[in-house]
Amino acid sequence: MHMKYVLAIALMVFSLTGCIANLESRRPAGTDLSNLKTFYVQKPPEEGRGVERMLADRLTRMGYVATYGIDGPATPVDAIVTYKDDWWWDLSWYLLQLDIQIRDPQTKLILASGHSKRTSLVRKSSDEIVEDVLNETLKGVRR
């Protein structure tokens, strides 16, 4: 009988770990992002799934001017977006976690950051995750 309880608890813990959905952003107190109009999305050299393009496309649809690449912006920009993406396999590859930082182009200090994590059972498309994390990070910013 004792073994049934252990198995039931183990099954419950295992099933709950498949249902994590977390979306959050941080911005230092007093940081005003309303003056940001142009962004450059900095692609990490090892990333090959096109997240930089998704971020730039979403920023453009939000009304900003956004470009992307590896070497840095060709012209001055108001902010640089850096990111880390984690992909996971569960019958297909999906974007498990996305962390973005909006940085001052001169000092590289973080002006705002966003985080999204969605496990397999509550997964969204990578485009939806990019949209969610940018909307959350830039929430309340007047354009």
Runs of H (alpha helix) within 18-125: 51-61
Backbone phi, psi, residue 46, to 5°: -85, -10
Encode pLDDT of 72-125 as tens digits: 898 999 999 999 988 777 787 767 788 999 999 999 999 999 998 877 666 678
Q: Is 105 exposed, middle or buried (0-12, 13-18, 19+ CB in 10 A)?
A: middle
Is residue 3 helix, strand or coil? helix
Residue located via tokens 């902010």: 79
Position 83 in a domain: yes
Q: Are 141 and 111 in contact, with CB atoms under 8 Å apart? A: no
Position 21 in a domain: no
Is residue 83 helix, strand or coil? strand
pLDDT above 70 covers a percentage of the chain that reads: 80
Tell me the average pLDDT of the chain.
82
CATH number at residue 60: 3.30.160.670
Q: How many domains does the chain have?
A: 1
Position 79 in a domain: yes
Give the pLDDT mean for 65-76: 92
Position 7 in a domain: no
Position 27 in a domain: no
Domain extent, residue 39, equals: 35-137
Between 123 and 45, the higher pLDDT residue: 45
**pLDDT of amino acid 68:** 95
Position 4 in a domain: no
Position 131 in a domain: yes
Backbone phi, psi, residue 32, to 5°: -110, 115
Position 116 in a domain: yes
> Does the global pTM surpass 0.85?
no
